[in-house]
Structure 1
Amino acid sequence: MAAGNDGWVGMGHDWTDVADIRRRLDGGADPEWWCGRRPLHRAAVAGSPEVVAELAGRVEDVDATENGVTALWEAVVDRKPDNARALAAAGADPWRPSLGGWSPGRLGLAGPTPDLFPVPEGECLTDAERAVVQEARRLTAALGTFYYYGLGMACVAGIDAVEAMRRLQTAPVPDDVIDVLLEDPFGYDAEESLRIVGVTSVPGGCGVTQPWGYAPQMPGVLTRLSTGTLCYGLYANPKSGSQGSIARHGTIEGADLHPGGGPIEGDTTAEVLASYLYQCNAVAYACAFAGLRPADRRAVVGPPDAWVELPRRDYGSR
């Protein structure tokens, strides 16, 4: 093993101790390489401004990229304004284009610290982008913070709960049955509980939800709901994280997506903005993707407009 890598042995998740980082660097730790990553990128999201400044002064290029983005981009996306300022002070370029054509500086204009960097003349958000930002703030505030792992949800544009039930050919669930199920969802027969969903109308469309399972995101559900419209399916898997699907006009267009996971390489301009605004908020991302504008989180956590039962069929097929 090279001496430069030896200096990082035992380095964990905490990159805030500048004395420790300086000692490691002085002892031969490579400022360009740590466990397959760039140390400066790691410090941008997990370090202190002092550590960021120390590393920035030792690397060959403060704007070097990893997975297509600079350390400054990472600091902005991860909402670490002090680290972003330290990088800019070390020479990082806030206005260098990155994912989807966005620069760290311009993306920062959509975030909680729009005054992060001096803004050159002509750099601004469009009216459409400002509207997206405004709705993201309203939507995240309306939904609030709550635990949603284990939730399955389909966000359907342009149809109400009655039409969703018609498309799925559902039957109402008696109150006494739903009372028993809600008292102990995981003590209920799993095959039967998977067929019971809640349906709620909201401005912009409707939500089909299941607090205990993935049924609303099953292909056979999404394709039926999305006839002539758009649907975003979400399963907040407690084991592996949030999983998303897109259905349009009765066809699955995307699967194994990661709503709330932040911008990634290959995202479009609009996708980068949405992923930034709804980072770590998969439910809000799913609602926004389908154009749903709930005034609160009742459509997600209940009680829904109606509890209904799906007919027996193979929903694993499209």
Structure 2
Amino acid sequence: MDATDDVGWWIVGYDGWTDLDLIRERLAAGADPNSGVRIFDKPLHVAAEQGSPEVVAELATRVDDVDAEHRGRTALWMAVFEGRVDNARVLVSAGADPWRPMMDGWSPGRLSLAGPTPDLFPAPSPEIGLSEAEAATTAEAKRLIPALGDFYYDGLSLACVADVSAAEAAARLEATPADDVNIDALYEAWYNVPDADRIVGITDVPGGCVITQPWGYTPDTPGLGKRVSLGTVCYSMYSNPKGGISGHVARDRTVSAWETHTAYMTPPDAPAEEILAAYLYRNHPPAFCCAGADLHLADARPITGLPGAWLQLPERDYWA
């Protein structure tokens, strides 16, 4: 839609979905309540994710179908995924179905069972619920996230390697002890230290090991992931100080990329276990990596504290 067209939604910014007067103004000007908004195309989906209950209620009375799907999910699914309990209740009051099957078996109602408000919707039958494996995954997330706590991780990269000790990971990387490196200088001004990108920390943890670099991206490179993931899995991430968190999953030397999950970025064809992990860890990327590699950290010290050892990696192209 042309940005000069005054009948659409283009003027509504991120914060605009909490402004009931603005939304009513757009509707009165001819904006389509069923489509026309950025990525999601459906105003009710966007409002469910980031708007106010008042705006959600207004749009719910204007749409043709309160349970219309976009990319495999309804507006109610969006509200549940993003923890917008207030918006979820409004949508159900407007007729949305919490138990409508979607997203590989994750209806809004089933998804809510894994969240902080498992009693949000009355279950239509006792058979509807989490499987034993899903319940265990949910319980571990509820343990792991508070165990790690909140910490500042801009600039940090992290690799979580399953079933591999720190010594074995160092051998796979052909790394040597960084005995001659001034670690204090790295913390103070890493950019003044030659080859700072090749210095990493490594620590044994229950289930495997973690590789960290507080000042750079090296643990999240495909080359490192390939080398440590032989016969196992490595989940890695990098928090770019310039903005954004990205990561890789290496399974037996095959690497794929991942990005932090939001309600609209979760692929519509994702398998059920990936959807659950995206929901449980959507605002906690370090915990997501630990959980992906099945590492059972008791606290954040292996990530934020001094590592078990400092290693110097050999010079090579770690992006290859």
TM-score when scaled to structure 1?
0.91
SS where residue 6 of structure 1 aligns?
coil
Letter paired with 2:28:
D
Instruction: Verify the 8 A CA contact 1:5 1:34 in the aligned structure 2.
Output: no
> What residue number does 2:214 align with?
211
Match runs of 1:160-179 below 5 Å: 160-174=165-179, 177-179=182-184
2:186 counterpart of 1:181:
yes
Instruction: Verify the 8 A CA contact 2:7 2:29 in the aligned structure 1.
Output: no
**2-structure distance, mates of 1:100, 1:235:** 29
2:254 counterpart of 1:244:
no
> What residue number does 2:235 align with?
232
- What RMSD in Å do the two structures reach over aligned CA positions? 2.1
- Sort the Cα spacing of 1:186 and 1:91 in 2 relative to 1 into closer, same or farther, 3 A: same
- Sort the Cα spacing of 1:111 and 1:195 in 2 relative to 1 into closer, same or farther, 3 A: same
How far does residue 23 in structure 1 lie from its aligned partner after superposition?
3.9
Unmatched segments (≥5 aa) in structure 2: none
SS where residue 29 of structure 1 aligns?
coil
SS where residue 201 of structure 1 aligns?
strand
- Sort the Cα spacing of 1:219 and 1:19 in 2 relative to 1 into closer, same or farther, 3 A: closer
> What residue number does 1:316 align with?
319
Deviation digits for residues 151-193 of structure 1 (CA, Å, limit 9, x no counterpart):
222110012212212222222123761122122223323xx00
> What residue number does 1:282 align with?
285
How far does residue 260 in structure 1 lie from its aligned partner after superposition?
4.2
Deviation digits for residues 52-90 of structure 1 (CA, Å, limit 9, x no counterpart):
111101110111122221111110011100100100111
**1-structure distance, mates of 2:73, 2:254:** 30
2:23 counterpart of 1:18:
no
- Sort the Cα spacing of 1:149 and 1:260 in 2 relative to 1 into closer, same or farther, 3 A: farther
Task: Count the aligned residue pairs.
Answer: 313
How far does residue 246 in structure 1 lie from its aligned partner after superposition?
1.9
**2-structure distance, mates of 1:227, 1:264:** 27
- Sort the Cα spacing of 1:206 and 1:35 in 2 relative to 1 into closer, same or farther, 3 A: same
How far does residue 5 in structure 1 lie from its aligned partner after superposition?
6.0
Identity %: 52
How far does residue 27 in structure 1 lie from its aligned partner after superposition?
4.0
**2-structure distance, mates of 1:137, 1:57:** 36
> What residue number does 1:298 align with?
301
How far does residue 271 in structure 1 lie from its aligned partner after superposition?
0.2
**1-structure distance, mates of 2:318, 2:22:** 55
**2-structure distance, mates of 1:198, 1:229:** 20
> What residue number does 1:198 align with?
201
SS where residue 115 of structure 1 aligns?
coil
Q: Equivalent of 1:129, from 134, 137, 157?
A: 134
**2-structure distance, mates of 1:291, 1:219:** 20
**2-structure distance, mates of 1:312, 1:23:** 60
SS where residue 92 of structure 1 aligns?
coil
Deviation digits for residues 73-114 of structure 1 (CA, Å, limit 9, x no counterpart):
110011100100100111111111121221011001101111
TM-score when scaled to structure 2?
0.91
